[in-house]
C-alpha cells in the first residue's frame, strides 16, 4: 500500500496562533518539532497497518517546514514552493491520502486560523459547494482516483471534513475558543488519538468504505475575495467573469484546470489595498 500525506501546520497539535506559524516569528522553531511529532504518530499508525511506502508533501506557507534531517529513513519528503500541485503535489498514484495538520475554511466560527489558501480568499465554491483546503484538495486528489481517508486538526476542520467526505476518519487534537485560542490535548494524548485514527482510517479503506471525491465535470469555480480591489486584479485572469463586487466565476473542463484558475485568481488578488 502506498500512502501519501499532505501536511499543513495550523492544525498541528500545540499550535493556535500566527506567532507559531511563520519562519520569522518567535515560536516557529518549536512548531516544526510539533509538526514532526504529529507526522511520526501518523507513521506509527501506518506501520501498524503494514503500510510501507509513504510520501509526505510539506504544504504550509513556503513549504519548507519539515526538519528533513530528523525524518525517519523510510519516508520520501516533498519540500519547496511553486509545485504544480501545491498542497497536493505527489498524490497521483497513491492508494490513499491523509491530510495532517489541516484547518477549517475561511469564515468558520471558532476555528483555529481558519482560512482558505490565502488571506485574500473569503469563500470558494465548486459546483455550488462551499469548500476550504480540505475540499479543494480532496477534489484534486479525487480526480486522480485517490480517496482522502484521514484529516487531523481542530474540531472545526474535523466536522467540515466529515460533512463533505462521510467516510473520512478524523483526529481532533484541539477545540478552538476563538480564531487564535483553544483547548489542547496533551502531546501524549494527541499522539495516541492521531495513531488510532490512522489505524481506523486504513481499516476503513481496506473494508472498501473510502471513495475518491470526484467533482463532476465541467467544474464551476466561484471565488469570493475580501475586497473589490482584489476582484479588479483577479479579472486579469483570462475568461474570469465578475459576478458581483466580491466574486468571480468561471467553468472549467476539469478540476485540475479549475485549480489553476483558482490559483491564478489568488495570486492576482494578493496584497491588501492601501485604503
In the complex, the residues that contact Zn ion under the rule CB under 5 A are 8-10, 60
Beta carbon nearer to Zn ion, 10 or 154 = 10
Beta carbon nearer to Zn ion, 18 or 92 = 18
Dihedral sign for Cα atoms in the order 9, 12, 17, 22 = negative
Grouping H, G, I as helix, E, B as strand and the rest as coil, residue 135 is helix
| Prior bond of 163 cis (ω within 30°) | no
- Minimum Å distance from CB 127 to Zn ion? 25
- Minimum Å distance from CB 190 to Zn ion? 18
Distances (CA, A) of 227 to 76, 179, 194, 262: 40, 21, 38, 16
- Phi and psi at 176, nearest 5°, equal -75, 145
- Minimum Å distance from CB 59 to Zn ion? 7
**Side-chain half-sphere of 144: how many Cα atoms within 13 Å?**
20
Beta carbon nearer to Zn ion, 7 or 150 = 7
- Residue 173 sits at the vertex; the CA angle it makes with 171 and 179, to the nearest 5 degrees, is 120
- Minimum Å distance from CB 100 to Zn ion? 11
- Minimum Å distance from CB 156 to Zn ion? 15
The residue count of the chain comes to: 275
Beta carbon nearer to Zn ion, 121 or 248 = 121
- Minimum Å distance from CB 157 to Zn ion? 12
Q: Which three cell numbers stand for residue 27?
A: 515560536
Give counts: helices (H), strands (E), the chain: 6, 12
Beta carbon nearer to Zn ion, 137 or 170 = 137
Beta carbon nearer to Zn ion, 9 or 258 = 9
Give the residue nearest to Zn ion (CB): 60
Amino acid at each position: 500500500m502506498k500512502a501519501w500525506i499532505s501536511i499543513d501546520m495550523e492544525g498541528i497539535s500545540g499550535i493556535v496562533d500566527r506567532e507559531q506559524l511563520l519562519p520569522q516569528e518567535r515560536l516557529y522553531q518549536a512548531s516544526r518539532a510539533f509538526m514532526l511529532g504529529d507526522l511520526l504518530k501518523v507513521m506509527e499508525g501506518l506501520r501498524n497497518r503494514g503500510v510501507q511506502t509513504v510520501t509526505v508533501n510539506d504544504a504550509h506557507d513556503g513549504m519548507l517546514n519539515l526538519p528533513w534531517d530528523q525524518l525517519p529513513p523510510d519516508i520520501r519528503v516533498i519540500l519547496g514552493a511553486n509545485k504544480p500541485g501545491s498542497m497536493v503535489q505527489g498524490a497521483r498514484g497513491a492508494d490513499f491520502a491523509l491530510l495532517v495538520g489541516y484547518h477549517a475554511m475561511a469564515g468558520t466560527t471558532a476555528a483555529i486560523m481558519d482560512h482558505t489558501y490565502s488571506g485574500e480568499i473569503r469563500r470558494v465554491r465548486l459546483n455550488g459547494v462551499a469548500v476550504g483546503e480540505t475540499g479543494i484538495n480532496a477534489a484534486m486528489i479525487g480526480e486522480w482516483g485517490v480517496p482522502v481517508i484521514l484529516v487531523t486538526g481542530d474540531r472545526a476542520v474535523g466536522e467540515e471534513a466529515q460533512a463533505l467526505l462521510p467516510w473520512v476518519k478524523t483526529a481532533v487534537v484541539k477545540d478552538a475558543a476563538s480564531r487564535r485560542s483553544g483547548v489542547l490535548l496533551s502531546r501524549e494524548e494527541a499522539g495516541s488519538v492521531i495513531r488510532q485514527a490512522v489505524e481506523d482510517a486504513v481499516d476503513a479503506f481496506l473494508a472498501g468504505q473510502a471513495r475518491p471525491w470526484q467533482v463532476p465535470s465541467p467544474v464551476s469555480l466561484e471565488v469570493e475575495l475580501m475586497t473589490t480591489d482584489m476582484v479588479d486584479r483577479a479579472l486579469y485572469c483570462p475568461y474570469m467573469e465578475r459576478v458581483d463586487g466580491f466574486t468571480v466565476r468561471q467553468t472549467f473542463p476539469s478540476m485540475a484546470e479549475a485549480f489553476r484558475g483558482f490559483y491564478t485568481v489568488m495570486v492576482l488578488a494578493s496584497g491588501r489595498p492601501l485604503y
